[in-house]
Amino acid sequence: MSIGEYHQCSDETLDLIVENLEAIGDETEIDGFDVEYSQGVMTLKLGAHGTYVINKQPPNQQIWLSSPKSGPKRYDYDKESNKWFYHRDNHTLDGLLNEELSEALGQPIDVLAH
């Protein structure tokens, strides 16, 4: 993948995640909920449920996640499936976020919903 393709794919993914999380924050009352996105770094604060950080890593062409529940992970893009995968266990970035955030917020979450 070219660096331009990496930036396009990672930006599209992070922009959609931020957009959906901001909508969730507007629709629900969660103490300490906040979403910030700047210069390729997204921070999601969930009060008592901790803080998630998702950031672009252009030198490695990865997206990195730091989760208060499952710890740090590094995701690589797969063009065929149009998904970011963690190669140690083949789960996807959106799959993990959907699972953990649904549990933390007590409602179904789809971070890549259109």
CATH code of the domain covering residue 39? 3.30.920.10
What is the Rg, in whole angstroms, of the alpha carbon atoms belonging to the chain?
Answer: 14
pLDDT value at residue 113: 84
Does some domain include residue 113?
no
SS3 48: helix
Instruction: Tell me the residue range of the domain where 44 lies.
Output: 3-104
Does some domain include residue 46?
yes
* CA atoms within 13 Å, Cβ hemisphere of 24: 27
- Asked if 111 and 102 count as a contact pair (C-beta separation under 8 A), the reply is no
Q: Which amino acid is at 13?
A: T
Does some domain include residue 54?
yes
Q: How far apart are CA 77 and CA 3, in angstroms?
A: 12
- Tell me the H-state helices in 65-113: 93-105
Does some domain include residue 62?
yes
Per-residue pLDDT of 79-98, as tens digits, reads 999 999 999 999 999 999 99
pLDDT interval class at 26 (50, 70, 90)? confident
Per-residue pLDDT of 39-81, as tens digits, reads 999 999 998 899 999 999 999 999 999 999 999 999 999 999 9
pTM attached to this predicted model: 0.91
Does some domain include residue 109?
no
Q: What angle do CA 38, 97, 35 make, to 5 degrees?
A: 30
Domain count, the chain: 1
